[in-house]
A and B are shown apart, each in its own frame.
Chain A
Amino acid sequence: NAGVTQTPKFQVLKTGQSMTLQCAQDMNHNSMYWYRQDPGMGLRLIYYSASEGTTDKGEVPNGYNVSRLNKREFSLRLESAAPSQTSVYFCASSGAPYIAPLSGNTIYFGEGSWLTVV
């Protein structure tokens, strides 16, 4: 049971280069998320997808684009990487929000992608 799988684990980019972070979940979740984690800032939401075919901006969307390819996959693209985008990126998923907590609304995270932009 893989849960949330994201690739690559590590990446070094030069300023201006583009790349796509891939994410897939096997829990049949409707909602998927991309977060970035920076020291002292906690987890900040970049984009989310409430369900297949929909995407919405989170707290820090500038410089990023996303694609909800199907129910399983949600990718994050950096079109022109900047040093400010050096961070750890986490993909996550959760069940439909109308499912009552404590189990259905749990958000599950991948293991992270460490991105350095030089």
Chain B
Amino acid sequence: QQQVKQSPQSLIVQKGGISIINCAYENTAFDYFPWYQQFPGKGPALLIAIRPDVSEKKEGRFTISFNKSAKQFSLHIMDSQPGDSATYFCAAHTSGTYKYIFGTGTRLKVLA
């Protein structure tokens, strides 16, 4: 019940295309869903986050879509660029607790 299932494991997209990464969870106590971006040799860095009271959040080319009834959320990267090539992690967290549950990561490669 504490897991966050992330797919796909890897993704190859042409420059200018849309990258979509999906995550699913079971625990309805989660109330904060961040996405982290990790470049090789670096630590994960917060990219964008959402709370379940909204269905979508957009920041530039990055959008989180949230489906509370299906317990799923996804990251959309519009107009994908080679510089977006990185590993992306979804995560889930419950306010008032100390634990973040991370997905297993998606390695994105954007071809020039």
Contact = CB atoms under 8 A, between A and B. Distances in A.
Nearest to A90: B43
B7 interface: no
Interface residues of A, number: 29
A14 B19 CA distance: 42
A64 interface: no
A40 B9 contact: yes
A56 B91 CA distance: 20
Given A42-B104, A43-B89, A45-B99, A101 B49 contact: yes
A101 B32 contact: yes
B104 A40 contact: yes
A102 B93 CA distance: 11
Main secondary structure of the interface of B (DSSP, over half): loop
Contacts, number: 67
A110 B43 CA distance: 6
Nearest to B99: A45
B32 A97 contact: no
Interface string A4-26: 10000000000000000000000
B55 to A, nearest CB: 16
A58 B51 CA distance: 24
A2 interface: no
Contact of B97 (A97, A106, A108): A97
Contacts of A102: 32, 49, 51
Looking at B34, B99, B105, the one whose CB has the most chain A CB atoms below 10 A away is: B99
Given A48-B98, A105-B32, A108-B46, 11 more contacts: A33-B100, A42-B89, A43-B89, A43-B102, A48-B99, A90-B44, A97-B96, A100-B95, A105-B93, A105-B95, A107-B46
Interface of B: 6, 9, 31-32, 34, 36, 41-46, 49, 51, 89, 91, 93, 95-100, 102-105
21 contacts: A4-B43, A33-B98, A40-B9, A42-B104, A45-B100, A56-B98, A90-B43, A97-B95, A97-B96, A97-B98, A98-B96, A100-B95, A101-B93, A106-B46, A106-B49, A107-B46, A108-B46, A109-B36, A109-B43, A112-B42, A112-B43
